[in-house]
Amino acid sequence: MDYLNIKGPMSLQGEVSISGAKNAALPLIAMTLLSKEKMNITNVPDVVDIKTLLKLLGNLGSQYTIDGNNVSINTLDVNNTTATYDIVKTMRASILVLGPLLSRFGHCEVSLPGGCAIGQRPIDLHLKALEQMGAVISIQNGYVRAEAKEGLVGAKIIFDKITVTGTANIVMAAALAKGTTTITNAAREPEVVQMCEILNRSGISITGIGTAELVIEGSNQKLLDIKEFEVIPDRIEAGTYLCAAAITNSEITLTNVRRSHLESVLGKLTDMGCEIKSTESTITLKPAKKLKSVNIITQEYPAFPTDMQAQFLVLATQAEGTSVIEERLFENRFMHVSELQRLGANIQLNGNVATVIGKTKLSGTDVMATDLRASSALVLAGMVASGETNIHRIYHLDRGYEKLEKKLENLGATITRLKE
């Protein structure tokens, strides 16, 4: 098993190119099930989660090739509509095949995804919406068995709470449904917006893109002509590198990035004293003379993203004063706190609120990653800690960050991937 060895403290400089967004690429790959011909997708990140979903599509009968960051997928020969537990258990996003499989074939079986380290992510909202669209759904032997013999029918869907994966799933289901589907309280994340824009260009009329209400005109099971497209840049990867610059008191420039996707993150960095300069596709961070404390509440887009909570919590350990970070989306998303305390961080937890007292001197030691974003937070901590930090279980990191240690090395970091 691999681990990362980091020698700190350090400073960074230079440019780093941001990869395609994993959270955009996953639903877009599932969306290929709606295509009537071979599809090419560019700027796909080379991360484990992508390979897992492609393997699942392969098991369903698809053919695919990977050439660097370009993926070609042909789903015309899909002859299996069962997404098995052995793959779904490794990645919850596999549930994204439920909507397109059901809308295309009228039936499917998808394994329940099981638990998630950072908290409950129930799929009941997905299932309720599909039932409203005419599906008959049952849970048998750990599988969602869904059937719509005459195809799905448009419906008025009101999500009780915002769900990014649920919105993507129902948008794909609605694309091949008969009639009009209205989704109220839809997710507004850039990753959902990109899917809607691509479907819109492919003959599916979608109004309200980027708002909380989507109106989708279905094709009545007619497969779509989807042209080649490029995955949007990863806003969470971008935010992580900005935090790396801020915590190491360094100036770096991000390329292949969209500022409009990062306004809440950039706002908090500015509040902490950092200076941000940007162009259409670059962002440069100039570090604060003295980092200031910050208050953060995680909420759905366009508010502050839960996927940046762990990175800012680490950053707050190096700020002067007391920072308060409230996690409103996932109940177990402070598991990195105990590992940061091992490094010397002064963090007090009270339910879903973390109080960080800074500035604190961190000292390197052995720590363990517990989830994807916690992994990146430990990397940031290791970069500012004195001595050596060893981060174990970095398979979490490999799920969502492309060539992280290589990119950091190119910026001047002393970070090495080693074997246990």
How confident is the model over 5-34, as pLDDT tens digits? 999 999 999 999 999 999 999 999 999 999
- Is 40 within 8 Å of 72 (Cβ atoms)? yes
Mean pLDDT of 83-101: 90
C-alpha 151/C-alpha 116 separation (Å) is 32
Q: Where residue 203 falls among pLDDT bands split at 50, 70, 90? A: very high
pLDDT at 265 over 50: yes
Give how far the C-alpha of residue 49 lies from the chain's centroid of Cα atoms, to the nearest Å.
10
pLDDT at 315 over 50: yes
pLDDT value of position 281:
96
C-alpha 405/C-alpha 271 separation (Å) is 28
Mean pLDDT of 177-182: 98
| pLDDT above 90 coverage of the chain, percent | 88
pLDDT at 119 over 70: no
pLDDT at 115 over 70: no
Q: Where residue 331 falls among pLDDT bands split at 50, 70, 90? A: low
DSSP-assigned beta bridge partners for residue 355:
324, 348
- Is 236 within 8 Å of 242 (Cβ atoms)? no
Give the type of residue at 187.
Answer: A
**Residues recognised as catalytic:** 116
pTM of the predicted protein model? 0.95
* Three-class SS state of 8: strand
DSSP-assigned beta bridge partners for residue 207:
215
Mean pLDDT of 195-220: 98
pLDDT at 117 over 50: no
Rg (CA), the chain: 22
| pLDDT above 70 coverage of the chain, percent | 97
pLDDT value of position 202:
97
Tokens 């941000």 sit on residue? 276
Longest dimension (CA), the chain: 64
How confident is the model over 359-414, as pLDDT tens digits? 999 999 999 998 888 899 999 999 999 999 999 999 999 999 999 999 999 999 99
Q: Where residue 200 falls among pLDDT bands split at 50, 70, 90? A: very high
